[in-house]
A and B are shown apart, each in its own frame.
Chain A
Amino acid sequence: MSKETPEPDIDDIEIELLLEALFRRYHYDFRHYARASIKRRLIQARGRLGMTSFSALQERLLRDPEMLAKLLNYLTVQVSEMFRDPSYFRALREKVIPHLRTYPSLKVWIAGCSNGEEVYSLAILFREEGLEQRTLFYATDINPKALKAAEAGVYPLDQIRKFTENHQKSGARTSLSDYYVADYDRAIFDSSLRANVVFSDHSLATDSVFAEMHLISCRNVLIYFDRGLQERAVGLFEESLVRRGFLGLGRKESLRFSDHAAGFSDFVREEKIYQRRDR
């Protein structure tokens, strides 16, 4: 075992080329994702897809579109829970909803919705608060397989206990069991919850504004981006929000160091809920 590793690292060169190939061939842009996490995921993919190097993976990827779907599942793998961080949902319920009530119709964007846990959480919350009928939800992600899962609304039954506990802590007015039926080891959520949901492919890295929103919830997505891409995404959010519209981020995400910070004010500081300034 040698103590000195020659520079530059071959893996790092190959990863850069692979991400470039992925972008030029399929227009999926991971070039400005935080590199340490991407590298871990690619190492995982390389092993499980039986490739000896990132170059070999790249060669397959360029010629075989099926490899794209496989790779995306590694690059976008995202686990979540319904009502994750219940205090966030409680703050939406108690502090944001009273403002949203003043609008005759509402648009809500769940950016990076992954398998849809947060989509159903918000649909339930809005139903409980009597706003569901006037709300259109946009649930977006870059991974078609995740969007399909989100649209199906089926989750492992063994997660339901945690989901239920979170829901209760969010200030629930109903029981989570009102919204799903259990089928062996799966919980199938009521399709009426997605009656007002549009599931759509959208990339915060390459796509632009598509509607005017009253609330954007984008949690634990920005941490995967580098600074530049974070700025792009927050810029999109600022442009998309109505004046005095709301932006909710993940527990450990913040606009503190963002170029767009001036466009927002803290609304519920500890829950990372921001309000677009009225200029």
Chain B
Amino acid sequence: MNGAVVIGGSAGAVQALLTLLPALPADFARPVLIVVHVPPDHDHGLVTLFQAGCAMQVCEAEDKQVPEPGTIYFAPANYHLLVEPDGSMALSADDPVNHSRPAIDLLLESAADALRSRLIAVLLTGANQDGAEGLRAVFRAGGAAIVEDPETARVPTMPAAGLALCPEATRLAIDAIAPYLLRLA
């Protein structure tokens, strides 16, 4: 795999993704892996919600699947999503981390480990601190770290926590993230 984009978000993230994801073209050069905090008991319906408005393919991540460019993968409800050293995706039913399953930190840290400088990570709006350590891991591994600007994010806690641990992260308003990804990818 030629790298990937990983995105994490919590409260307000669905709205933010409705701005970000439809702005990416069908032939976007990297796969996009996403963790959104959702209640555990239900299939979250994110695939159906985003399929309609996105040019990229949208699906739920499957265990051991190798992610393809031009495709968006959502972590299933109640499972962690990780990236294996060979670039394939893996699910886990381990304990919640930061009270969340899926947890953003697990996706970002494992992807940073696997993809190093070929990884771009985006931390969006949210009301907790999941993802901050992951973002720092991405930066330390040589990847690109992006944070939704806490001043304009719906809920600033998560992006602010990301910036606190990883002050080098690029800070962008939500509608500037897709154009920035297109320049990087």
Contacts and interface: CB of A to CB of B under 8 A. Distances in A.
A121 interface: no
A252 interface: yes
A223 B95 contact: no
Given A3-B142, A230-B64, A36 B91 contact: no
A252 B79 contact: yes
A167 B150 CA distance: 43
B63 A223 contact: yes
B109, B113, B140, most chain A CB atoms within 10 A: B113
A37 B82 contact: yes
Contacts of B116: 5
Interface in A38-85: 39-41, 77-79
Contacts of B140: 1, 3, 5
Contacts, number: 70
Contact of B90 (A5, A220, A223, A251): A223
Nearest to B78: A251
Interface range, A side? 20 to 34
Contacts of A252: 62-63, 76, 79, 91
A232 interface: no
Interface string B87-130: 00011111100000000001001100110100000000000000
Nearest to B140: A1
Nearest to B114: A36
A184 interface: no
A17 B106 CA distance: 23
A1 B139 CA distance: 9
B179 interface: no
A78 B85 CA distance: 23
Nearest to A34: B90
A257 B65 CA distance: 9
B114 A4 contact: no
B62 A36 contact: no
Interface residues of B, number: 27
A19 to B, nearest CB: 13
B142 A223 contact: no
A254 interface: yes
A227 interface: yes
Interface string A208-250: 0000000000001011101100100000000000000000001
Interface in A8-45: 9, 12, 34-37, 39-41
Contact of A36 (B76, B93, B110, B139): B110
A4 B116 CA distance: 9
A129 interface: no
A36 B64 contact: no
B82 A253 contact: no
Contacts of A40: 82, 94, 106, 109-110
B29 interface: no
B79, B84, B92, B139, most chain A CB atoms within 10 A: B92
Interface in B53-78: 62-64, 76, 78
Interface in B130-148: 139-142
B83 interface: yes
Contact of B93 (A5, A39, A220): A220
Given A35-B84, A79-B93, A5 B79 contact: no
A250 B63 CA distance: 11
Given A4-B142, A223-B93, A36 B63 contact: no
A78 B95 CA distance: 8
Given A1-B140, A36-B84, 13 more contacts: A1-B139, A3-B139, A4-B142, A5-B140, A9-B113, A36-B82, A36-B85, A37-B82, A37-B94, A40-B82, A223-B91, A250-B93, A252-B63
16 contacts: A1-B139, A1-B168, A35-B85, A36-B110, A37-B94, A41-B94, A79-B94, A223-B92, A223-B93, A226-B64, A227-B64, A230-B64, A250-B93, A252-B79, A252-B91, A253-B63
